[in-house]
Every structure is written in C-alpha cells, then in structure tokens.
Amino acid sequence: MSIQDSLLLALRTAAAEDPDRECIRIVGESFTRRETLDQVERTGRGLRALGIEPGDRVGIMCDNRPETLWAWLGTNAARGIDVPFNVEARGRLLEYFVHDAAPRVLMGTEDYLQILAETITDRPEFVVCIGEHSTKPFGDAVRQLSFDELLALGSASEEELAAPLPGDIATIMYTSGTTGPSKGVMLPQRYYPAKAAHAAQLMEVRSDDVVLCVQPLFHIDARAFLTTAWSVGGKGVLGRRFSVSRFWDEVRESGATIFATIGTMLWMLHKQEPRPGDADQPARTAICSSTPGEILRDFEARFGVQIIEAYGMTECVLLTSAPPGQTVPGRIGRAIPEVEIQLVDDNDAPVDEGQAGELVYRPREPFAIMQGYWAKPVETAEVWRNLWFHTGDLVREHPDGMLEYIGRKKDSIRHRGENVSAWEVEQAVAAHPQVLEVAAIGVPSEVGEEDVAVLVVPAAGAALDPAELVEFVTRDLPRFAVPRYVEVVDRLPKTPSERVEKGKVRERGITAAAWDANVALGRR
C-alpha cells in the first residue's frame, strides 16, 4: 500500500480518482471527495490570505462539526500547525495551552471564543468565528471574521497550495502531563496517512466500509479512525458526542460496518438492559482500547460484533493489536510490523521472559510517530532516552507472544477515555487557601477505568468542605478531571527528601471516610 506524505496529497489523489464518492458524514452533513478537498483547500488559501506562514499555529476550540474538520485539514494544507484544544479545558489549564502554543489564529464557535477571551492573557492576531454569532468576544483589538468570510478569502485567492513535506509539523496535540504540565505532541504531516494505512491493513478495513467514531476531533482517536476509512477509499462518519441511549441508533442510521470505542464506552453499553434486537445492527467489527476482559466475549455475542483490541497513544496512535478473530481477553495483541518494541527495566535493560517491563518502541519508517514535545527539549530527550520512546506503561509478554497491559509507571489517571494529569489536579486543589498538601490518584470506577480521587491535608485550623473544594477546582480543571472523591487526612506518606510518596498513596487508596460527589450531589 502506497502511503502519501500528507493528508492534502491523499485527498487530492482520492478526489482525482472518484470525485463524487461520499467520503465523510459529520453530524448529519455529507460531503463527497471533491467537496471535501474544495473546503479544505479554500480554508487553507483563506489562512494564507491572512498571512499565515508555514509553522504558524492555529488554535481550534470547537465541537464536532464540518468547520472543525476544515479548520484542522485546511491549516495543515497551508502548512500551518493546528492546535486542537479540549473543549472542556478551563482556567489555568486553558491559559497554559494557549500561552504555550502561541497561536496566531483562534477558531471556534462564539461560546468557546467567549471562554477563551475571558481566560487567556495572550491575544491572537485573528479570530475566526464558526457558525452564528452576534458579538466580538475579543473586542475590536483583534480582527474577527466568520468562517464563511475565511472561505471567501480562499475562493478569491489563486494561490496554489504547495504540498507539505512529510516531516513538516501538522499538529500540536496536548496530552496529559504526569509529573509536570501537559505536553504538546508534535505530529508530522506523514503521521496521519501512515498510521491510517497501518490500521487499515492490520484491521482489514475495506473500501466498502463505513467507519463510525463518536469521539471529538480534539482527540487523536477521531482523527485516526476517520483517516483510516479514507486510506482505503471508505467512508468516515463522525457523531457529535458519545451517548449511551443514542449510540446504536447512530450505528444503524449510518450503516456503520466498523465502529470505534474505548473501554468505558463499551462498559456503559454493556450495562444497559439487554434487548431482543441488540444484535440487529450492521457493524461487524468494534475497534477498541482498554476493553474490560470480563465483558469482551459477552459483548461480542450480545451485539453481534467482533472486537479488535488495540493499544496506542497520541504519540503513536497504533502500537499493538491483534488481527480480526485473534483478540484475547485481557491482551493488547502484538506490536504492529511498522514499530519495534522492547520491555525494559528501570535501567533500560530488557526484562526476563514473562516479567513486566516498561514498553519502549521506535519506528521502522520515517515520520510515522511524534517528532517531539513542543518547546520542551528536555522532556523530549528524556522520553527518547537511549533512542527508544518510553511509554511509561508496564506490559508483560506471554509465551504466545501476546502482550498484557499491567498499568502505568507514570503518574496519570485514566478517566472515561481521558488521560488526567495527577499533577494538574494537585495544582488546582493546592490553590485552595485551606489546603496544605494534596495527592491525586485514580481509584477503580464501576464503569471501568478510574475515577479521580484526592487525599487532602487541610491547613492548620481549617475546616475543609469537600463540596466547596470541588466547586473551587472546577474553574481550573476540565470536567473530566474534577475529583469525584475527596478524603481529608492528617498526613501524607513522604520520602526522606520530603516528597509525597505517591506509590504508598496509591497503595492506600481511599477509605469509607471519603466524600463522594456522586452521592453528595446526586450524580449518576
């Protein structure tokens, strides 16, 4: 399979081959290959008309809709760097993202632009408002135009967009911090078509397939599954967001033959009351990650699908998997042919057979994984030490060559498909005037993965109210990172150097004394 050096070249090739074939349906709107290419190139030329140069950043904060797609692909077509912001980011976290990336352009719907304007101190040069709007969130100090006006600029331009180079940075996507702030993962132009081709070949995606993903475009999953469908001439379908009650209707209405989920979504679907028509749906394959082993076979039988379990990360969205029909509950498959992996100890020496070790990897081809962390050379060098990328995840290899995911070495929490930085949660909680010390950990959730919990040592004489503390941190944390559990403790275990010993905190976990927001606030 020939792999293009950029998505722009892939779209041009596809449009030339069969221009009127439908290639994308996003929240109900359908576009052919020719229409998709036209929107992408008009967006790219519009950005160039504004003066956007190769390497300039364009920040995007928007829900799934066609303009979000054009903003991403059009920025890349102009050889700019798109920077998708999580729409739930708020306060100091959002301010950090924008300050770190320093975008010349911000794009979003009016409501998200208003949040940005109220939060950030660094002003962009241009603001592009997607959809209807009646205000100027940034006032007159910043040039604001509508997305339609941006497209009009592109239509009026006769500039021929030069093909990006394979190593040009296409995207900066922020992934969870572990012992420090979130890092901007730099993805090259060739990353998208390369990983799409790898996934399509391994998972046997065909040209007549319809691939459905209901995850947001600011996550790598939606982008990966959409481009996987395109890589073989299939159709990608993007929903607005995941809904348990609406999911199977979306599968049926779209005619999806393949759908993408994460473990929490699968668990939530499985917990619904069984119905006689559960298997009456068109999908043959579910491509998943973090699938609870105890429900995998039952889910397949009940809904009439075959689960392909895969493992990856923003830095390399597909690292391991098993071909269709070979998924084993509790396993993440084998390394894909395009990467080399090892399991190593703390000194980067390979572990003994059957022992758990940190999974490290390196590519066998150019520009197919991340190129480093934006503006963080030290962190980049650390994660790439000894010429292997260190995932921070512990894995064990079984005699049959299948890999088993054990857990994380790094200090992050996996909550409903999101990587939550324990460090960032701790920073937000520690800002409360009545908090002396805090440790954030993940605890098992009844719907799979983890819930966020904090153990808090109050300041001397303080009467800490957990509900008030949770309300306090919502200004600086996205919703998925806000703690569910708060336990007030007298002290936290410390190392001899007076650092909080997180291993012992995780081992302790929480007790029945922990305050539970779901119970106290009547959440479900």
The rounded average pLDDT for each run of 10 residues, N- to C-terminus, in the chain (524 residues) is 91 98 96 98 98 98 98 98 94 94 98 98 97 95 97 97 98 77 94 98 96 96 97 97 94 97 85 93 94 90 96 96 92 96 96 94 97 96 96 93 85 83 87 91 90 94 93 93 96 75 89 94 68
Instruction: Tell me which architecture the domain covering 412-520 has in CATH.
Output: 2-Layer Sandwich (3.30)
Supply the pLDDT for residue 109.
98
Domain spanning 191-408: which superfamily?
ANL, N-terminal domain (3.40.50.12780)
> And the tokens for 479?
């919703």
| Amino acid, single-letter form, for residue 155 | S
Return the SS3 of 470.
helix
- For residues 175 and 315, the answer to whether their CB atoms sit within 8 Å is yes
**Contacting residues for 339 by C-beta, under 8 A, at least 6 apart:** 316, 319, 361, 362, 363, 364, 369
Q: For the chain, what's the residue count?
A: 524
Question: DSSP code of 340?
Answer: E
Domain ranges in the chain with CATH number 3.30.300.30:
412-520
**Contacting residues for 86 by C-beta, under 8 A, at least 6 apart:** 174, 216, 218, 478
Supply the pLDDT for residue 189.
98
Residue 292 CA, distance from chain mean position:
20
Domain 7-20+28-188, what fold?
Answer: Rossmann fold (3.40.50)
Q: What is the distance in angstroms between the CA of the first residue and the CA of the last residue of the chain?
A: 47
Question: How many degrees, rounded to 5, is the angle at CA 420 between CA 435 and CA 380?
Answer: 110
- The DSSP H or E segment spanning 472 is helix 466-473
| Amino acid, single-letter form, for residue 10 | A
Q: Tell me the C-alpha distance between 154 and 49, whole Å.
A: 7
Question: Would you tell me how many other CB atoms lie within 10 Å of the CB of residue 227?
Answer: 24
Supply the pLDDT for residue 240.
92
Domain ranges in the chain with CATH number 3.40.50.12780:
191-408
Question: How many degrees, rounded to 5, is the angle at CA 110 between CA 107 and CA 112?
Answer: 70
Q: Tell me the C-alpha distance between 24 and 76, whole Å.
A: 18
Strands of 210-261 (E only): list them.
210-213, 235-238, 258-260
- For residues 72 and 84, the answer to whether their CB atoms sit within 8 Å is yes
- For residues 432 and 488, the answer to whether their CB atoms sit within 8 Å is no
Domain ranges in the chain with CATH number 3.40.50.980:
7-20+28-188
Q: List, as one string, the DSSP characters of 19-41.
A: TTSEEEEETTEEEEHHHHHHHHH
Q: Tell me the C-alpha distance between 505 and 493, whole Å.
A: 7
